[in-house]
Chain A
Amino acid sequence: GWPGSGGTRGGAAMDLFGDLRRMNKRQLYYQVLNFAMIVSSALMIWKGLIVVTGSESPIVVVLSGSMEPAFHRGDLLFLTNFHDDPIRAGEIVVFKVEGRDIPIVHRVIKVHEKGNGNIKFLTKGDNNEVDDRGLYKEGQNWLEKKDVVGRARGFLPYVGMVTIIMNDYPKFKYALLAVMGAYVLLKRES
């Protein structure tokens, strides 16, 4: 067979190295640009989603079991956060406690809204015995609109598990990135 074809000797790994040696600089730059374009497009789509939904984080992963049996750890939630959407009892909101990064997905159980639009509300996880006052900041008894990341409008089960696994097992994350990078760089356009 041809030198470097790898065919019956050593299998796929030999093929890869064969490819790398044969690529000249131009092809490499082309592949890198291709890769960069894919990343940019993905980022643009994400930014577009942020604009369209009005939420800083339009897609979130459920991290705890406090909303079971509706949502389980690893489920994916789709949020909107339109400015004119009122906050009403029964809605599922995703909020962040001031000073903390972790978004919490719970249900609104009390709302007090003034005539000028000022709203304060209380939340509770369906699966929790008590309301969320224990989760809020020291001395804070209510949440306000500014704490809201978005309202849950739709959901997909299980899909977010990948994110949780990547978080809990960083080695998995690097391995995944390495595989993706290798695939994109070496993929040939026919």
Chain B
Amino acid sequence: LRKNVEDFTGPRERSDLGFVTFDITADILNRKNGLQSFRNKITLIIFDWNVKQLFLYLSAEYSTKNNALNQVVLWDKIMLRGDNPRLSLKDMKSKYFFFDDGNGLKGNRNITLTLSWNVVPNAGILPLVTGSGHVSVPFPDTYETTKSY
């Protein structure tokens, strides 16, 4: 699972608004017999007979002065059983506005992006799994004033 990001913050009246663009490459597999190993740390997500869909989401987690823990979902996707299991998204803009509750994005060096997913079975337990592998994103110290998004 690889993510590359470029970012800048934009000013809004009261809260920081962050802009992140990212790439996601993921291979989501069907269960085969035995283990399979891959070059980078790709996490195996398993589509088996009881999995109806996966709800994938990219979330940013960080701390600010105002709040000890913040989590914001930037992007999500529903992957049904039978869909193309290869995700290759480049230069994606976040689907949702990345507002902070306050001004904690400016100069924040430690924003972690992780890919997680919710397994929705045909019937049964609903697990929430976080992918191993995450990317740290530092935000710059200044606001961008002229970029249009």
User: With a CB–CB cut-off of 8 A, which chain B residues contact A71?
Assistant: 120
- Given the contacts A69-B80, A70-B53, A154 and B69 also touching, CB distance less than 8 Å: no
User: With a CB–CB cut-off of 8 A, which chain A residues contact B68?
Assistant: 113-115
Q: Could you tell me if B57 and A155 are in contact, using CB atoms closer than 8 angstroms?
A: no
User: With a CB–CB cut-off of 8 A, which chain A residues contact B128?
Assistant: 88, 90-91
User: With a CB–CB cut-off of 8 A, which chain A residues contact B124?
Assistant: 154-155
A-B CB pair tally, cutoff 8 Å: 75
Q: Tell me the complex Cα distance, A153–B69, Å.
A: 23
Interchain nearest-CB distance for A111 vs B (Å): 4
Q: Could you tell me if A89 and B59 are in contact, using CB atoms closer than 8 angstroms?
A: yes
User: With a CB–CB cut-off of 8 A, which chain B residues contact A120?
Assistant: 101
Taking the complex as formed, is A9 at the interface, i.e. its CB lies under 8 A from any CB of chain B?
no
Q: How many residues of A contact B (CB 8 A)?
A: 25
Q: Could you tell me if A70 and B52 are in contact, using CB atoms closer than 8 angstroms?
A: yes
How would you classify the secondary structure of chain B's contact residues: helix, strand, loop or mixed? strand
Taking the complex as formed, is A51 at the interface, i.e. its CB lies under 8 A from any CB of chain B?
no
1/0 per residue A58-74: CB within 8 Å of B?
00000000000111000
**Chain B residues touching A, range:** 20 to 34
- Which stretch in B20-28, B32-40, B71-79, B141-149 binds the other chain? B71-79
Interchain nearest-CB distance for B68 vs A (Å): 4
1/0 per residue A146-185: CB within 8 Å of B?
0000001111110000000000000000000000000000
Q: Could you tell me if A92 and B126 are in contact, using CB atoms closer than 8 angstroms?
A: yes
The 10 A-B pairs of least Cβ separation, nearest first, read A89-B71, A115-B68, A113-B69, A109-B73, A111-B71, A112-B101, A70-B120, A112-B67, A89-B59, A154-B125
Known: A109-B72, A154-B125. 14 other contacts (CB 8 A): A70-B78, A70-B120, A89-B72, A90-B55, A90-B116, A92-B126, A110-B72, A112-B69, A112-B70, A114-B68, A126-B76, A152-B126, A153-B125, A155-B124
Interfacial residues, chain A to chain B (CB-CB below 8 A): 69-71, 88-92, 107, 109-115, 120, 126, 131, 152-157
